[in-house]
Chain A
Amino acid sequence: MEHKEKFYLQIADNALILSHRLSEYCSNAPFLEEDLANTNVALDLIGLAESVYTELASQKGTGTADDYAYRRTEEQFFNCTMTELDYPDFAHLMVRQFFMDNFHFHFFSELVHSKDEFLSALALKSIKEVTYHLRRSSEWIIRMGDGTEEAHQRMIAAIERMWSHHEELFTPSEADLEMLNNNVAPNLSRIKELCMQKVQEIFYFAKLAVPETIPNAYQGKKGIHTEQMGHILSEMQFLPGKYPEAVW
């Protein structure tokens, strides 16, 4: 597979798999307004993934956006593993969201300067949505970190779980490096600096400690996922898989 296609897929797959996790939370939020807000984020992310898949299909001159979402196997998805993790509570959901929003915000802020016209336009559109997402999740981190003792403890547990996947976001794949050389992709070590500044700022207000960096053990960008990924896909792809001839 070409590096460029893989780089596109890394972006789109992060959005799609994260939106899957958010959308399954629909009707489970702590209160109604939060349910609507959560769904808005999920919708933005599906839209993001779809526009990348559509562009890829059109650049290749074959297939559709749905083929990318519904007809690839696990090892053909290149999302980071943090997006696929399940979540026992709202703290886990929101900590993951904060880390991903933070990553997206800085990633797209840099991607605006990409030499690739499609990506720079995509980044420009996404940055508006992601700015809002990040503001929302940042505030929730502070409410939970600096609220009740129970919430604080839940935050510590959630951060611990998600933190071991944090470094993967900034670990470059071959596609990342190749695209960086071609002035298409941002420099992930720069993105990491910016992300860490924001984590420190928000955790300071939330009265939470920033953990030590944990070396990356995950390789989602190589198509090697957690055990959860197969379950996500078998659910998401159930209908097109079972009725391959059908058009929906």
Chain B
Amino acid sequence: MTVQAVIEQEKLAQFEAKIENEIKIEPNDWMPEDYRKHLIRQISQHAHSEVIGMQPEGNWITRAPSLRSKKILLAKIQDEGGHGLYLYAAAETLGVSREQFISWLHEGKAKYASVFNYPTLNWADIGAIGWLVDGAAITNQVSLQRTSYGPYSRAMVRICKEESFHQRQGYEIMWRMMEGTKDQQRMAQDALNRWWWPSLMMFGPHDTDSPRSEKAIQWKIKRESNDRLREKFINKTIPQAELIGLKVPDPELRLNEDGTYQHGDINWDEFYAVINGNGPCNKQRLQHHIKAHQDGAWVRETAAIHQQKMNNHGKH
């Protein structure tokens, strides 16, 4: 064994000891290349999801039916942008620039949460997104606060703190609508029908079909398995639906003796179709992001050039 290999082995042992002892890994620390790659992929995917996630809700800002709901929705979407920003910053500590992350997204080399490839068709969809999509995301994010990479963990702590109102605002919209007119109730149920299954899919494939998960859990990047998190989400969400008179669109849903739920089969063909770019809004969402980015190119350029001019003049 070469000296180099011995040193590498020593570093790996130190790294694994830190993981074992719940000591966070920091940007300057040595880390296995696969760990770094996994983090780059997961954190940037997470960041893209927050940013692309601004679009389906943004679709209703100008049509929010009250000043209160308009303010809340706008603040919520702004939070999502902020969360994308925290996450890009966390990912940048791994040595990849935000420019690069964005170009990977535009080239189709980076993914974002598939759930945002579904359309928001009525106002209750805004409720359903807050309640279900944010609810599912929070279930995952709470668990990720304990992730082993320091910058990612700190971003998740901040995000979880800020997201606590998101799910409530969504549920409140649904509740108000279920207390309202027949039309409102119809819209609310319609939204649940369309968002229920995509929300369950957000947790990813079953553990048995999730090849990358095992390593991620061993390194404590992920702290709980897809199926475990999905179960948690279902168990807390179904009673919430029933409380306000909504019917979960799963004819095979069963209540177990221990109070947990057994859900029907998830349509994985649909899941993979959407992931592979064939959902209802994939092209639209990506195109929107590309267009905003391209339309903004001259603005970024003039800001950079102006700063150069000021530096050359030795002022500002």
Contact = CB atoms under 8 A, between A and B. Distances in A.
Interface string B174-200: 001100110110000000000000000
Interface in A38-92: 39-40, 42-43, 46-47, 49-50, 53, 65-66, 69-70, 89-90
A217 interface: no
Interface in A112-130: none
A212 interface: no
A240 B306 CA distance: 46
Contacts of B85: 32-33, 36
B216 interface: no
Interface residues of A, number: 48
Interface in A177-219: none
Interface string B45-87: 0000001001100100111011111110011011001101100
A28 interface: yes
A167 interface: no
B67 A69 contact: yes
A222 interface: no
B70 A46 contact: yes
A69 B300 CA distance: 35
Contact of B292 (A28, A50, A146): A28
Nearest to B69: A248
B296 interface: yes
A45 to B, nearest CB: 10
Contacts of B78: 26, 35-36, 39-40, 43
B84 to A, nearest CB: 6
Contacts of A43: 71, 74-75, 78
Contacts of A34: 296, 299
A246 B301 CA distance: 48
Contacts of B67: 46, 49-50, 53, 65-66, 69
B295 interface: yes
A4 interface: no
B166 to A, nearest CB: 15
A90 B63 contact: no
A206 B84 CA distance: 32
A126 to B, nearest CB: 16
A188 B293 CA distance: 40
B79 to A, nearest CB: 9
Contact of A147 (B62, B184, B292, B303): B303
Contacts of A49: 67
A146 B306 contact: yes
Interface in A146-182: 146-148, 150-151, 154
Nearest to A232: B62
A46 B74 contact: yes
Contacts of B74: 23, 26, 39, 42-43, 46
Nearest to A206: B306
A239 B173 CA distance: 14
Contacts of A89: 295
A27 B288 contact: yes
Contacts of A224: none
B112 interface: no
B75 A246 contact: no
Interface string B287-312: 01000110111111111011001000
B50 to A, nearest CB: 10
B15 interface: no
A172 to B, nearest CB: 28
B309 A23 contact: no
B61 A24 contact: yes
A246 B181 contact: yes
Interface string B22-35: 00000000000000
A247 interface: yes
B299 A90 contact: yes
Interface centre among B173, B295, B298 (most CB of A within 10 A): B298
Contacts of A30: 292-293, 295-297, 299-300
A3 interface: no
B123 interface: yes
Interface centre among B65, B82, B184, B302 (most CB of A within 10 A): B302
B88 interface: yes
A100 interface: no
A186 to B, nearest CB: 26
Contacts of B51: 27, 32
Given A40-B78, A247-B180, 14 more contacts: A27-B55, A28-B292, A30-B299, A43-B75, A46-B67, A53-B67, A66-B66, A69-B67, A90-B295, A148-B305, A150-B301, A151-B301, A243-B181, A243-B183
27 contacts: A26-B58, A26-B78, A27-B51, A27-B58, A27-B292, A28-B288, A30-B292, A31-B300, A32-B51, A35-B54, A36-B81, A36-B85, A43-B75, A70-B65, A89-B295, A90-B295, A144-B302, A147-B302, A147-B306, A148-B301, A151-B301, A239-B63, A239-B65, A246-B65, A246-B181, A246-B183, A247-B176
Interface of B: 51, 54-55, 58, 61-63, 65-71, 74-75, 77-78, 81-82, 84-85, 88, 123, 173, 176-177, 180-181, 183-184, 288, 292-293, 295-303, 305-306, 309
